[in-house]
Structure formats: structure tokens, C-alpha cells
Structure 1
């Protein structure tokens, strides 16, 4: 049968299913909308309130803006838990992505309205939309390939390019539109991008008929549910007592917290207490020493994820404000929009992703340490080193009243290289260690850890108002480097606890990487 007469879902383009490119462009426009809006978020909140002026903002303090930024970016990831659960148990990934794209389009459209109610409402829709779309569209990419299809990794690489292309284009175009015409035109452009992504996705459904469909009864029965774990928790006196104490402390600490967000922290602490209960019950139900040892390593990898994103996400918060308020952005007589600096991360990923991958491949071929834990720890250290340039920027600002743009660019360069060492590796490593019967739940915990890291970033950013940027940037540099170094010192015992989870894969991976390197 020729390619022309093949069913739509079996057709290929450049050696990959056509459905991959449908999801590529859908995700590209979703990231265009998300990162375009993210680039403006803190800048808009802290801009002065000027009547009948397109550059009028909310006039919030830095503390207020970074607090909301932390809550927002945390909830975006935490909502991936119910988003993934609804898809796995009821909707299927395909329908969940459709719902997410619609919610995102509505959210960005509402953000284009110049009113405070529209701002909060729009953010709410975006949070719900990303929660439905983000965890499920990646699952669909994997579903395009059979289990042993060697094209799978390359397919994900192509998809990853779409994410960063969308981010890069958004920071440039949305940033300049907001700078010239006003904030809400920038928000509106982000919404138009998401609407285009929705149209692409709906048009491409015929290429996706075999993936992301509603789960069968057998699939629903294969995963352990939250209800089952909570039922087991109620029958475990020690674990139940621990969770009860944590919940009591959460209610007390959250609602006696002296600040405008006391209710939010109360809910957050309760959520973390319940997550702790789930994690304890999973550990209790594991079979044998191998599963339990791997689970311990998995928890340490979660700590690295929290530390990394808690530092890295200063990019959209504190560093975004620093670019706006304290950086000399004049270039050849023209002022570079602060939002443009958000494009540096995506641009550097596109430039250096292959180089970083080849570095680790060559290191592995030479028989040197190149395990996932090692890469993640190195990624945390490199990201931390990036903050030293922000310390230099702060010193320059203190002496001359402004700092040069190249300090921000150098910081984003190191942060990006750190991200390339940790981000693509951490999720894959997590799936290797997580017990198969708890995989769906553990993926939710992974995204929750990412969200918690984003909230930590907001809290750290808020502290700059009292401590000053120089101390915050210096503290992040010291903490990240020390934490990453500690993990490196523990690499050997941690590797033993994985019980060879990567040994067999390493052999296969090296063979693939030899071929990749030989092809240039």
C-alpha cells in the first residue's frame, strides 16, 4: 500500500508519524502563549498604575508580585496531577488536551481585558488549561510509537524543539508588542497564538485516532488509585498518627502565619501533609529491598528537582524585575524590552542542546561517570554558578546605578546548560526508579515537586525586598553549589541503592550514541 493510500494515522513525514508534527505545532503555540504571558507577568504587576495609559500596570509592590508569581507557577504544575488523573481514568489524553487548549484560549483572551477581575479570572483559566494539556500531550507523543521503536527518542527531541521554539518566539514578539502597544495587547497576542494551536490540533485529530483515547476498564484497573492508598493509611496506626500530627501543625502554622497569604499557606501545608502520607504508604507497600532502596534514591532526586527549580525560576520573577528596573538595556540608542531576556533560555537550548548531549555521550564512551544522578547534580552546580554573575551585576549596580546586560545573558547561559543536564534526565530517571504499579501516582508527585520548586522560587524572590538582591543571588549560588557537591560526594552509595537500574540501558544507550556521534 502506498503512502498516499495509507490511513491518516499511519502516514509519515520525514520518517516520523504525521501526528508528531500536529502535536509539535500544538505544543509550540501552547508554549508561545504560556511563556509570552509569563514574560509579562511580574513586569505588569509592578508597573505603575497610570490612567488611560497603555503601559499602566497594577502598581503592586515587588513582594506582592513575586508572591502571586510563586503561587501561579506552582499551581500550573500542581494542576497537572488532577489533569493527568482525569485523562488516565476518564477522558483520555486526546480529549484532555482539547479541553486544556480551549481553557487556555479563553484564559489568554480574558487577560486581554483591562480589569482586575479579568486578570485573576484569566490566570485561573490558564492554570486549569495548562494542567489539562501539559502532562497529557507528552503522553500522546510516546503513544505514537510502538514500545521498541528506535525513533521514539528522536521524536521526543523534535517535540522538545517545538517547546523551545514557542518560548523563544513568544518572548520576542509578545515582549515587543507589550512594549509598543501595551500590556493587554501582549496578553491578547499570546491568546491568538493558543487559538492557532487549538485549530492545528483539531485539524490534526485524524492523524491521532490511535492515541490518547478513553481508557479501557483493564487500564483503569492496572494502576493503584489514591482512594486505595488513603484506605490503607486509615488502617496503619503509625503512618496515620504522623499524618494527623502534620495536618494539625499545617492548620496551626498556615492560619497563624502573619501575612496576606495565610489561607494559601494553610492549604499548601495540608496538601504537603497528604502527599507525605501517600509517599509513606507507597514505601510501606513496596516489595523487597531493591524497590525500597530505589525509592529512597527517587526521593533524593525529587529534592534535586525542588532545589533546581526553586533557583532556576528566579528567571521569570526576580531576574525579570531586575532586568526591568536595574539593568541598562540601551543598545545602539534603542532600549531592549525587559521581556526579551526571557528568550535567552530557549535560544540557548536550541543552540547548545546537541553539544551538551554529545558531551555526555562522549564521556560515557570513555567510561567516565555519566549516570543520571551525576548529570543532575552537575546541572544543579552549573545553574548555581550562574548566580555569581548576578552578584557581579548587583555590585555594578551599587557602584554605578545600573548593571550591564551581559550579566543577565551570562546567567541565563549557565542556567540553560544546567537545565540541559538536569531537566531531560530527571523525568526519565524518575520513571526508571518508580514502581510500575504506582507510576501514574508518582508522575503526579514529580510534577508536584516541580510546582513546589516554583513556589520556593517565589518565596526566595520575595526575600530580596528585605535582604537585597545581592544576598539572595549570593545565597542561591552558595546553596546550589554546596547541595550539588554533596550529592556528588554521595554518588557511589546512591548508585548502589539503584541496584543497576541504568546498567543495562547504558549499554544500549552507548551503542546508540556512538552511531549518533559518528553521524556528526
Structure 2
């Protein structure tokens, strides 16, 4: 194994060494996140008589509510995390800060106390907000504009995410079964500490990316305060913001449920996000940047739809696995968290196969744009819920459902994810205005978080409408939305103004 030196950085196996530093940092961070996620909802609803020990004994409705808020906030905080990197610390130091906070958060969750549960979740939310958007942006920063290795680099990085998830879901359930819930939370903390150590060790390989903004860069940048202040110069946009804020406050008084003020706060936040997006759009200097910005916003809607369905894995599907699935295999009860590991395992097995399918389509000049991949992935992922519908029907008939339905559902979810998620990360780095790079990556993860909140809401509604109705609705909506994007693909591609054309031309030259 050897490294070669390019003009700016060392390379290993055709990619910058820094990619592998970020790969292993993210792998252990995702081990900690997905390991904790795999047991979170089950821990909240576990009664004193649960086989793995007493949990919080919450109702399913309460667990779905907290799960939705947690998944949303863990990504929405990416927005201030992106701002912190763009304006103050730089991405590299912000990732370091996030890793330290995550170690504290997971360590706190290992303490058997109610205050530790909420404190730990809060710290994890802050830590992910600092780390997640910025480490992804750093991956993009390792490659020059038009470098065809960028998508492949993100795919490698994405495998690291899922390797961490696979390891976590394979081990956490066994640890919980033997030593209890808080041992599982503690193991997640140890994994995050390993990620931090890798990141500290590899600083020399990533010292050229994600640095603190220079004075010159700050001069050319536009502060968010100035962007927001411009809204007062536009009566129409100011009126939109005021109306949205009024509706948000109204919802705080009228929304039914114990967390109605939470929804009021959410709507207020979304109102300010809309105001921010309007002002960013107005601040862009050219029509090309504005057109690309609009396409980027549409891709965020795809992200919300995709993850609103996909995140059922940690909520509704997790509870369904725990309570209604026959998990006995050769006399052994398979822990519920292991089923979530199917997704990560399938990704590792199928990632190259799916990537090759798209590469062959591109070389044959067939449709293989990022938007097409994202829409196709959303459709395939949605079709995976057909198997959950069949599982519910089997449960209604026999009192339990077989594991094969979960395996097939996760298989389709994985293929959909491989089509959509890796390229969506890369798509943001291609279309985002340079001076808002980390902020737009933060908005991407905020969209992911909103999808998580949608997932929690769907879980809540399943308590009233039943799993069959929810799973059926997911199939119909995801397929319809994906087909709509495909139908609008040509005008949308025109609005990107050839953002992906350079890479397509380079691919063709390599093929020749």
C-alpha cells in the first residue's frame, strides 16, 4: 500500500488520503448515532417486564412524538452548525467541536437517570449539528470543480456511514440483551470517542480543507444579518414573512396535542427559513445562480419526502418489528436492532452494483442526472412499503408476520437510498453558491430532519389509522411525487445550466 503526491495532497487508491480520514471519522460517528437510534424508541416504550430490562414505559404515541422531534432537531441544528463554520471557526474546527460534544452526549446517556436521558439527547443534537453538514462539505472540498472522482468519493464516504451503522446494529442489540440499555448507550459513546481520535490523528491530511474563513473571504461574504435586514426593503417578501409568522403563532394556540407549542415553534422556525431563502435568492448575482438555487430547493423537497418515509425504520417499523414480527430463527430470538442493520448490510453489498448501473447509463448517454436518480430512488424506496402492507395483512390473519417482509422492505429501501442519497449530497456541492456552501449543506440536513419529523408524525397517526393505512399512503405518495419530478426533468435540467455537464464530458473522454 503506497501513497502518491499530487500538487496539493497525498493520494491513496486514487483518492485523497483525507477522504479516508473523514471516512473513518464518520464511520464511528454513525456507529454511535445509529447504535443509539436502533434502541431509542424501544427503550422509551419498554415496560418493567421487558426482556432487556425496564425502559421509560412511555406510550407508543409519546415515543413517536419524541422520536420525530429528535430526528428533526438532530439535523435542523445543522443550519447554525453551517453558519458557525462559514462565519467563525471553519468546517474543520467545527467538526472537532461537534465530535467532542457528541462524546459528552453519548456518555451522558449511559447514566441511568431521567435527567441524563434528556441531557444526553440535547448534547447529541448539538454535536451532530456541528459535525454532520461540515464533514460532508469537507469531502466535496477534497476535489476540484469538475473532478469526476467527486461522486465516487461521496460513494466511498457513504459506505463508511453504512459500515458504522452495520457494526452498530449488529452489536448494540447483543450488548443490550446481556448488560442492559445503558450499556448500549455507553458503547455508542466509546465509538464516538474512536471517531474523535481518528479525526485528531488525521489532521495533517485535511489541513488544506475546511479552514477558518480568511479576512478576504469575509469581505466578499454577505452576513446573514444583512441578508435578513434586506427583507424590510421588499414589501412583498416582508408581507409573506409576517403572514407566515402570524399563522405560526396561531397554530401555537390552536394545535391539538400535548406538544402544540412545539409545533408553533416549528412553524415559526420554518417561517424564518422561508425568509432566509427568499433573501439568499435575492442576493444571488446572476440568473444562473438563481436558477440553480431553485432546483436545489426542489431537491430539498425530494429529500423531505424520501426521509419522511425512510425514517420509519427507527420508529414505526422498529416498533412493528418488536411487537408484531416473529423474530425466532433456529430457536434464537433475533434482537430488533439487528433488522435495522439490514439496510447497512445491503448498502455494502449493493453499492458497487447500483453505481455501475448508473455509470453504464451515463456512458450510453441515457438519463442519469442527479435529479433523476433521486426521483427514481424515492419511487423504489416507496415501493418497499408494499412488503410492509403484506406484513400487516399477514399479522391480521395469523397474529404475527414473518421476517421475510422486513428483509424485502429493507432491500428496496436500500436500493432507493443508493440511488438517491449519495448523489443528493454531491448535488448540493455542485449547485450551492460557493459563499453559502456550508449553509446550504446545513439546509440539506435540515430537510432530512424535517423528513424525520414527518416520520414521527406518521408514526403518531398509525396509533389512530393503523399501520396498513400509513404504509399504503407512503407507497402512493412517494411513487406519485417521484413520477412528477421525472415528468418535469427536462425543464429542471435546463435550470441547472450544465452543472453536471463537465463531469459527463470527462466520463465520456475516459470511456474513449
Please give the secondary structure, in 1, of the residue aligned with 2:384.
Answer: helix
Cα distance, 1:440 vs structure 2: 4.0
| Offset from partner CA, 1:148-170 (integer Å, 9 cap, x none) | 76655544333322211111000
User: 2:10 and 2:259 mapped to 1: Cα distance?
Assistant: 52
Relative to structure 1, is the Cα distance of residues 415 and 205 closer, same or farther in structure 2, using a 3 angstrom cutoff? same
| Offset from partner CA, 1:124-151 (integer Å, 9 cap, x none) | 1111111111122223334445557665
Cα distance, 1:261 vs structure 2: 1.0
| Offset from partner CA, 1:380-433 (integer Å, 9 cap, x none) | 110110000000000000000110111011111111111111111223223333
Cα distance, 1:15 vs structure 2: 5.0
| Offset from partner CA, 1:344-364 (integer Å, 9 cap, x none) | 111111111111111112122
Cα distance, 1:49 vs structure 2: 3.2
Relative to structure 1, is the Cα distance of residues 346 and 222 closer, same or farther in structure 2, using a 3 angstrom cutoff? farther
Aligned to 2:357: 359
Aligned to 1:479: 477
Aligned to 1:196: 194
User: 1:105 and 1:274 mapped to 2: Cα distance?
Assistant: 31
Aligned to 2:89: 91
User: 2:112 and 2:224 mapped to 1: Cα distance?
Assistant: 41
1:382-393 residue pairs with structure 2 within 5 A? 382-393=380-391
Please give the secondary structure, in 2, of the residue aligned with 1:66.
Answer: helix
Aligned to 1:518: none
Query: In the comparison of the two structures, how many residue pairs are matched?
Result: 510
Is the 2:95–2:135 contact (alpha carbons within 8 Å) kept by the matching residues of 1?
yes
Aligned to 2:23: 24
Aligned to 1:187: 185
Relative to structure 1, is the Cα distance of residues 230 and 165 closer, same or farther in structure 2, using a 3 angstrom cutoff? same
Relative to structure 1, is the Cα distance of residues 320 and 210 closer, same or farther in structure 2, using a 3 angstrom cutoff? same
* TM-score, normalising length: structure 1: 0.92
Alignment counterpart, residue 224 of structure 2, candidates 223, 226, 229? 226
Relative to structure 1, is the Cα distance of residues 511 and 47 closer, same or farther in structure 2, using a 3 angstrom cutoff? farther
| Offset from partner CA, 1:286-340 (integer Å, 9 cap, x none) | 4555444433333222211111111111011100111100000000010100000
Cα RMSD after superposing both structures: 2.4
Aligned to 2:33: 34
Aligned to 1:79: 77
Between 156-165 and 59-68, the greater mean CA deviation after superposition: 156-165
User: 1:462 and 1:108 mapped to 2: Cα distance?
Assistant: 26
| Offset from partner CA, 1:98-124 (integer Å, 9 cap, x none) | 221111111111111111111000101
Between 175-184 and 204-213, the greater mean CA deviation after superposition: 204-213
Cα distance, 1:173 vs structure 2: 0.5
Structure 1 gaps, min length 5: 516-520
User: 1:123 and 1:224 mapped to 2: Cα distance?
Assistant: 33
Relative to structure 1, is the Cα distance of residues 11 and 420 closer, same or farther in structure 2, using a 3 angstrom cutoff? closer
User: 1:494 and 1:341 mapped to 2: Cα distance?
Assistant: 37
Is the 1:88–1:220 contact (alpha carbons within 8 Å) kept by the matching residues of 2?
no
User: 2:4 and 2:415 mapped to 1: Cα distance?
Assistant: 45
* 2:98 corresponds to 1:100: yes
Relative to structure 1, is the Cα distance of residues 482 and 393 closer, same or farther in structure 2, using a 3 angstrom cutoff? same
Relative to structure 1, is the Cα distance of residues 388 and 510 closer, same or farther in structure 2, using a 3 angstrom cutoff? farther
User: 1:136 and 1:289 mapped to 2: Cα distance?
Assistant: 27
Is the 1:66–1:462 contact (alpha carbons within 8 Å) kept by the matching residues of 2?
yes
Relative to structure 1, is the Cα distance of residues 166 and 4 closer, same or farther in structure 2, using a 3 angstrom cutoff? closer
Please give the secondary structure, in 1, of the residue aligned with 2:475.
Answer: helix
* TM-score, normalising length: structure 2: 0.93
Cα distance, 1:11 vs structure 2: 5.2
Please give the secondary structure, in 2, of the residue aligned with 1:370.
Answer: coil
Between 333-342 and 283-292, the greater mean CA deviation after superposition: 283-292
Cα distance, 1:196 vs structure 2: 1.8
